[in-house]
A and B are shown apart, each in its own frame.
Chain A
Amino acid sequence: MSGFLERVFGRDRKSANQAKERLKLVLIHDRTDMSPGTLSSLKDELIQVISRYVEIDPEAVRIEMEQEGREQRLVADIPLRPAVRRRAR
């Protein structure tokens, strides 16, 4: 299996690294009971609500789960569009 994956992903993708990356994602969802799909609809709705109050660039919004010890937190990074550009339009 690891030989196969190495061929697919190139030599540097060690199976242990893949295991770790996969586990990181799985554990987030196990701990929060939140699937990637739910997170994505949360993001969409959040963008809608915020857009009602202030102009943002939906493409630049980052909503992610972060791990801190055994605690998960939802971190949102929502860059605002500069007021200058807003007036120009």
Chain B
Amino acid sequence: MAAKVVTVTSGKGGVGKTTATANLAAALAADGDKVVCVDTDIGLRNLDVVLGLENRIVYDLVDVIEGRCRLRQAMIRDKRLPELHLIPAAQTRDKSAVSPSDMVRLCDELRSECDWILIDSPAGIERGFRNAVAPADVVIVITNPEVSAVRDADRIIGLVEAEEKGPARLVINRLRPEMVKRGDMLGIDDILELLAVDLIGVIPEDENVVTSTNRGMPISLDGKTKAGQAFRNIARRLKGEEVPFLNLEEQGGFLGRLARMIRPGGD
């Protein structure tokens, strides 16, 4: 095995990095791939609760890096999805406890043991972001249709290019097709025109995301929900499959057009 390292980042906080990381990881693991998630949001960890693994933490990322435990010991295995593993962030330290080269070394050690390493980045453009992006083969930038998130996504896309980790792949989260139709929300084509970047997925606004997070059960495991389906589609695109974009009703026309424009995932 030679894992691909995928970093999920956004610039702005609260747009869905952790939710996306958890759901992509769960979708890939449900498909039988071995996945290790790494939470690099040191001091503000959350991937553990979103995945429902918060009660099983013994060691964390900083313990591994500072040599207090072996890598394997810090990997929490999800009992529901045997292929899913989490290396949680430390909660009582800060981002300076880890360096970009630490992350590269850690991922190099993991690469031979799994198919995917999914890195959940902290918000911001400082050390934590550089830690998260340093080992990446693919960078997913997530935004929602709000001006502040789109603006920050543009900054991040520029920084990803500057770190020679581009081109970034964009996920548009929490899209509300009925608002787009009314002209009260930026649509997919607007955002793509502004950011000039490749789209890898669109997640519709879905209340089920909240309930599934409440339960610590990734929504991508729920067969029926639209958001879950959208996350599974992104996972398939990451694997190099060409998956048409979900028909979010009103937007069928240009989504179809987009689907044809989009290259298959992977490289």
Q: Inside 8 A of B190's CB, which chain A residues have their CB? A: 16, 19-20
* Contact indicator B185/A23 (Cβ below 8 Å): no
Other-chain contact of A70, B151, B186, B196 (Cβ < 8 Å): B196
Chain A residues with Cβ below 8 Å from B97 are none
- Are B194 and A23 neighbours in the complex by a CB distance under 8 Å? yes
Closest residue of chain B to A20 (Cβ to Cβ) is B190
219-252 of chain B: CB within 8 A of chain A: none
A78 to B227, CA, bound (A): 51
CA distance A69 to B157 in the complex (A): 12
Interface residues of A in 16-42 (CB under 8 A from B): 16-17, 19-20, 22-24, 26-27, 30-31
Residue of B nearest to A14 (CB): B183
In the assembled complex, which residues on chain A have CB atoms less than 8 Å from the CB atom of B147?
19, 22-23, 26
* CB of B180 within 8 Å of the partner chain: yes
- Number of A residues near B (Cβ < 8 Å) is 17
Q: Does any Cβ of A come within 8 Å of B197's Cβ?
A: yes
Question: B184 is contacted by which of A2, A31, A69 (Cβ under 8 Å)?
Answer: A2
Q: How far is the CB of B186 from chain A (nearest CB, A)?
A: 5
Among A19, A22, A30, contact of B154 (Cβ-Cβ < 8 Å): A30
Are the CB atoms of A20 and B186 closer together than 8 Å?
yes
Interface of chain A, main secondary structure: helix
B183 x A27 contact (CB < 8 A): no
Q: In whole Å, how far is B135's beta carbon from the nearest beta carbon of chain A?
A: 23
Interface residues of B in 184-201 (CB under 8 A from A): 184-187, 190, 193-197
Given A22-B147, A70-B197, decide whether A27 and B154 contact each other with a Cβ distance below 8 A.
yes
Per DSSP, are chain B's interface residues mostly helix, strand or loop, or mixed? helix
Whole-angstrom CA separation of A24 from B195 in the bound complex: 9
Within the complex, what minimum Cβ distance (angstroms) separates A28 from chain B? Answer: 10
- Is B158 interfacial (CB-CB < 8 Å)? yes
A48 at the interface (CB under 8 A from B): no
Q: Which residues of B contact A51 (CB under 8 A)?
A: none
- Does the CB pair A30–B155 fall under 8 Å? yes
Task: Indicate if the CB atoms of A67 and B184 lie closer than 8 Å.
Answer: no
Contact between chains at A14 and B157 (CB < 8 Å): no
Residues of A within 8 A of B205 (CB): none
| Residues in B neighbouring A27, C-beta threshold 8 A | 151, 154, 194
Return the chain A residue nearest B151 by Cβ.
Answer: A26
One of B158, B185, B195 near A16 (C-beta < 8 A):
B185
Closest B residue by C-beta to A2: B184
- Map CB proximity to B onto A49-69 as digits: 1 under 8 Å, 0 otherwise: 000000000000000000101
> A interface vs B, CB < 8 Å?
2, 14-17, 19-20, 22-24, 26-27, 30-31, 67, 69-70
- Contact surface of B with A, Cβ cutoff 8 Å: 147, 150-151, 154-155, 157-158, 161, 180, 182-187, 190, 193-197
Besides A20-B186, A70-B158, 20 other A-B contacts (C-beta < 8 A): A2-B184, A14-B183, A14-B184, A15-B183, A16-B183, A16-B185, A19-B147, A19-B190, A23-B147, A23-B150, A23-B151, A27-B151, A27-B154, A27-B194, A30-B151, A30-B155, A69-B196, A70-B157, A70-B161, A70-B195
